[in-house]
Structure 1
Amino acid sequence: MQKYADYIKQIEIDALWSGRKHIIWDLDRQVNILSGVNGVGKSTILNKVVKGLSSGGDFPSHLLKGVHLKVEPEDARLIRFDIIRSFDRPIINSEAVTKMGLTLATEMDWQIFLLQRKYLDYQVNIGNRIIATLQSGEPDAAEKAQALSQPKKDFQDIMDSLFAETGKKIIRTENEIKFTQIGETLLPYQLSSGEKQILVILLTVLVEDQKNYVLFMDEPEVSLHVEWQKQLIDLILRLNPNVQIILTTHSPAVIMNGWMDKVTEVSDITVS
């Protein structure tokens, strides 16, 4: 069985921008923030790495020419990863979505639709593990079962806290994500762009099921309230302490809660 990497130790990119630049970026186990002015290549670097990874995370045979990854452990050949981009554009192939009987307007709606499916699978998986734990007969079975259910509760509590100002709350008796507001039921597609964005990020992290994951995010602060930007990294790590975050940003707010030393300027990892 092929081994999954815990995290990426180094990203190296040869001959970026028509051979004029060479990138070597040594990464932190948990948080990595790439900064720089517009047009300096933050998104290009991120996209180059993500584009070379296969959907299953197989990287030695799929990475684009000129992209090299060092991982831990060194003999791992697979990476679990997710990519979050922030632009809530209209769905390109809206006709195909309509044929599926869906009324989704934007790409973020489509992401939420896919995440709802993963969320259902996640709940089934956790439920089966809770049942097995309770049936194990171990003296601490109840405590272990509660620990298994804690991340989902944390996610629900976080969403309620973030949305408290507008009076929205997650309906905890529903299997899919739905909200209530002043007695009305809201589907996630009815949320604002910023609310959809934070939901997509945190739900993506939840369904990672606390496994070792690499979470790529390209300017996740777009549409987010500044207070949400400040909390973003801490909330992600609360839901999955085993995640490695690799993100680009223009926002000072994202690094305000003690993440200044995790910022790397593109110029600092570029060799002419």
Structure 2
Amino acid sequence: MHIKSIYIERTQSRQKTVSLNLSALNISVLYGENGCGKTVLLRLLNAVLGQEDRVLAEEKVQQIRIVYENDNRKEKEVRIICKEQAASDSAQITYDWSAFRASELFGMASILLCPNSGNASHINVSPDFLYWYIVEMGHIEHFRTGNDAQMLCDNLSQHIKLKQSGDGKVSFESQSDFSAPVLTIDTVDMHMVEMLLLERFHLAQQAAQDRVQKALFDILANACDSANMEAVDETALRMMLPTNQKKLIDILERLEKNALSDKIISILKSDDQKFIAKELKNNSLLAKLIVKMSSELEREEMPVQSVNKLKDILNAYIGPEKYIEISDDRIVIKFHSSPETHGIEHLSGGEQRLFILLTVFILEGDKRQLFLIDEPETSLNMKWQRGLMPLLGSLAPNAQIIAASHSPAIAEANVSYLVELK
């Protein structure tokens, strides 16, 4: 599916009509003067996919015409037309969605990323400031004692801090769980992103652990049914073991302790590959178990691969002095020259913006057909801007990406990305 052009007609607007022909590539970068409607177009396109009458009504939309090419490369056109033109209240204005619902655009999954996503502003409201405010405004008389007022200020300050940090999970479900097929991401706190990544990572780890345990029982069951174990493929074993050795140890150590897993761990922990090969050659059951478990690990859940890929890409950008490390309960920044660690909220504005973009594309790149990004260059240095669009395109190769930008560096990798809003 590929959107080729968009035409918007509005009433009571400085620009009553807006038209755009998108790039034939999977990436389009919109350019134009400030106020020409780039942000509005992205917002309206996402609203069309979500069938949001209110958003279209607020922008005084009379009609929207979208030309697209379906999976069979057949060009089609869809029109969404206002039905209640005379209504003064935007909440009462509705649109005819029948043509849209009959088209292949219906059900298209999209995400709109706004400029401030990843840069949530935090206000530091201290207990002392709150107490000063109560006294200055004459509200202290409403408390029995000064201690009662101070206790309220302490609790209120802590509540505000938790709400802003995301530790209280405020708005986490609505902003960062990515469950909605059409989603707008405006403000996302870094703590929320960390929680999301760790949650998916843990689910995938548990799934991998369950599969390894099942592999153990499957091979043992086969051994009980057959007196002669089938010979293990030594070539497959040599190829799988170096890649999966540490992963197998980590998973087996998390399983309930037993003699068999202890035996496998003791062999795999050896640094002598010749010793490991000899032990497994002399014990076809153990060799078969390791091959089977390694095969299961190579079916590793996508979230584990995704989080590791995110870490590798981000470290290539923010290094070489510092790097991201993911543990069971936290994502931290570490330094090669120092033992100190920091939370990811201590990344710079540009690093946080990149973190958010990479997180969205790595976790959703194979699930969404359309990504809409308003000012992707926000807070990014010129070098990062130049490589951003090809990077995002590689993370979502089967999706269409439409970005609105004021920076020519964003399209430097390929000028064919550029499309002018008219």
State the TM-score bracket (shorter-chain normalisation): 0.7 to 0.9
Counting matched residue pairs gives 254
- Aligned-CA RMSD value: 3.7
Q: Quote the offset at 1:114 in angstroms.
A: 3.0
Q: Quote the offset at 1:25 in angstroms.
A: 3.4
Quick one: structure 1 residues 192 and 124, their matched pair in 2 at CA, closer, same or farther if it must change by over 3 Å?
Answer: same
Q: Quote the offset at 1:219 in angstroms.
A: 1.0
Q: What does 1:1-272 correspond to in 2, within 5 Å?
A: 8-15=3-10, 17-18=13-14, 20-26=16-22, 28=24, 30-50=26-46, 52=47, 58-59=50-51, 64=56, 65=61, 66-69=63-66, 72=70, 74-87=103-116, 88=119, 90=121, 98-99=159-160, 101-104=162-165, 110-127=188-205, 130=208, 141-145=296-300, 149-165=304-320, 167-181=321-335, 182-208=338-364, 210-257=366-413, 259-267=414-422
- Contact 2:351-2:380 within 8 A present in 1 as well: yes
- Contact 2:23-2:418 within 8 A present in 1 as well: no
**Other structure's SS at 1:207 match:** helix
Q: Quote the offset at 1:60 in angstroms.
A: 7.8
Which has the larger helix fraction? 2
Greater shift, 29-38 or 138-147, is seen at 138-147
Tell me how far apart the structure 1 counterparts of residues 364 and 408 of structure 2 sit (CA, whole Å): 27
Quick one: structure 1 residues 78 and 121, their matched pair in 2 at CA, closer, same or farther if it must change by over 3 Å?
Answer: farther
Higher relative contact order (CA 8 A, sep 6+): 1
Quick one: structure 1 residues 133 and 15, their matched pair in 2 at CA, closer, same or farther if it must change by over 3 Å?
Answer: farther
Quick one: structure 1 residues 168 and 103, their matched pair in 2 at CA, closer, same or farther if it must change by over 3 Å?
Answer: farther
* CA distances 1:89-128 after superposition (whole Å, capped 9, x unpaired): 6359x889944724549x9874323323332343245446
Quick one: structure 1 residues 108 and 159, their matched pair in 2 at CA, closer, same or farther if it must change by over 3 Å?
Answer: farther
Tell me how far apart the structure 1 counterparts of residues 16 and 192 of structure 2 sit (CA, whole Å): 39
Q: Quote the offset at 1:195 in angstroms.
A: 1.0
Identity %: 20
The TM-score, its normalising length taken from structure 2, stands at: 0.51
Tell me how far apart the structure 1 counterparts of residues 382 and 190 of structure 2 sit (CA, whole Å): 22
- Contact 1:46-1:216 within 8 A present in 2 as well: yes
Quick one: structure 1 residues 60 and 85, their matched pair in 2 at CA, closer, same or farther if it must change by over 3 Å?
Answer: closer
The TM-score, its normalising length taken from structure 1, stands at: 0.74
Q: Quote the offset at 1:187 in angstroms.
A: 1.3
**Other structure's SS at 1:178 match:** strand
Quick one: structure 1 residues 100 and 82, their matched pair in 2 at CA, closer, same or farther if it must change by over 3 Å?
Answer: farther
Tell me how far apart the structure 1 counterparts of residues 308 and 333 of structure 2 sit (CA, whole Å): 15
Quick one: structure 1 residues 255 and 221, their matched pair in 2 at CA, closer, same or farther if it must change by over 3 Å?
Answer: same
**Other structure's SS at 2:358 match:** helix
**Other structure's SS at 2:7 match:** strand
Structure possessing the higher radius of gyration over alpha carbons: 2
Q: Quote the offset at 1:150 in angstroms.
A: 3.5
Instruction: For structure 2, list consecutive stretches of 5 or more residues without a partner in the other structure.
Output: 72-102, 126-155, 167-184, 219-291
Greater shift, 136-145 or 216-225, is seen at 136-145
- Contact 2:31-2:406 within 8 A present in 1 as well: yes
* CA distances 1:123-154 after superposition (whole Å, capped 9, x unpaired): 24544665677668999655443877433322
Tell me how far apart the structure 1 counterparts of residues 420 and 186 of structure 2 sit (CA, whole Å): 29
- Contact 1:115-1:204 within 8 A present in 2 as well: no
Letter in 2 for 1:247: A
* CA distances 1:211-237 after superposition (whole Å, capped 9, x unpaired): 234221111112101111111112223
- What corresponds to 2:93 in structure 1? none
Quick one: structure 1 residues 154 and 25, their matched pair in 2 at CA, closer, same or farther if it must change by over 3 Å?
Answer: same
Tell me how far apart the structure 2 counterparts of residues 148 and 117 of structure 1 sit (CA, whole Å): 13
- Contact 2:388-2:410 within 8 A present in 1 as well: yes
**Other structure's SS at 2:354 match:** helix
Tell me how far apart the structure 1 counterparts of residues 206 and 43 of structure 2 sit (CA, whole Å): 37
- What corresponds to 1:270 in structure 2? none
**Other structure's SS at 1:201 match:** helix
**Other structure's SS at 1:254 match:** helix
Greater shift, 132-141 or 215-224, is seen at 132-141
Instruction: For structure 1, list consecutive stretches of 5 or more residues without a partner in the other structure.
Output: 1-5, 268-272
Letter in 2 for 1:86: P
Q: Quote the offset at 1:158 in angstroms.
A: 0.8
Quick one: structure 1 residues 24 and 249, their matched pair in 2 at CA, closer, same or farther if it must change by over 3 Å?
Answer: closer
Quick one: structure 1 residues 256 and 18, their matched pair in 2 at CA, closer, same or farther if it must change by over 3 Å?
Answer: closer
